Amino acid sequence: MKHKDIPLNERVIFALDVNSKQEAERWLDKLGDHIKFYKVGLQLFINGWFPVIDMIVERGYKVMCDLKIFDVPETVKLAINGLKSRNVDFVTVHGNDPILRAAVEVKNGIKILSVTVLTSFDEDDMRAMGLTGTIEDLVYMRAKRSLEIGCDGIISSGLEVPKLRQDLGDNFAVVTPGIRPGKNIPEDDQKRIATPNQAIQNGADYLVIGRPISRSKNPVDTVKTIQEDINNALSKPAF
């Protein structure tokens, strides 16, 4: 399989985990020459609402609306409908088949990403919940069902991507959080992590990265280093 033809400046989706539209604007001012894709999650969405999404889109950048929408199917449909006019590119949905199916039915140009297993979750957490098997098996099962329903892609750590690509092919997007270019950052809550090179080599298309960039001494230099790492992985055969 070949790596998808995605511009390097869209491979990293920078996580705008900040408390205001003004803070988000400052990050776009700083990184906008190097990153063209941004994640708006719960923290920023609650504090900035739609104006922050509109601001990013008006600057010509792409938006991943990472709200992990989880509710009864009719409410999910209404939520997706509420995002249609905002020109977002990706929306994350979390849940069972009826929830995912509801999102797919009304997506109308929005790419629906199914959340498989959060990267802060490991097999100890599975055991604590009374689940058996492995994380890889759980991710695979959820990904397979999501794609059969019609989701455009999945959220998965870099560790599970090889099995997904081997068994499910490459006709879907894999967006990978839990990216750590080096050592874990202090007080890190991510458990299933990968380097940018590992994730891309394993078959990920996009990498969601926040704190390793925002907490670095020189965020722009860090972005450049990450993109070099991605480029090195793209120069080799895919997964």
Sign of CA dihedral 192, 207, 111, 71: positive
Partnered with residue 112 across adjacent β-strands are 91
Boundaries of every domain in the chain: 8-234
Provide the angle, in degrees to the nearest 10, between the axes of the packed helices 219-234 and 21-31.
60
Show the tokens assigned to 234: 């793209």
CATH class of residue range 8-234 = alpha beta
Segment 14-37 shows an average pLDDT of 96
Please name the residues in contact with 210: beta carbons below 8 A apart, sequence gap of 6 or more: 14, 15, 16, 17, 39
Segment 33-51 shows an average pLDDT of 92
Segment 168-172 shows an average pLDDT of 95
Residue in the block written with tokens 């006019």:
85
Find the angle CA(17)-CA(87)-CA(65) to the nearest 5 degrees: 30
- Annotation says 68 is catalytic: yes
Global pTM value: 0.93
**123-158 pLDDT tens trace:** 677 778 777 788 888 999 999 999 999 999 999 999
Mean pLDDT over each residue of the chain, to the nearest integer: 91
61 vs 4: CA distance, rounded Å: 19
**Given this model, what pLDDT does residue 194 score?**
87
Segment 94-118 shows an average pLDDT of 95
**Given this model, what pLDDT does residue 193 score?**
77
Which backbone phi and psi does 190 adopt, to 5 degrees? Answer: -85, 135
Considering 4, 36, 62, 68, which one is annotated as catalytic?
Answer: 68
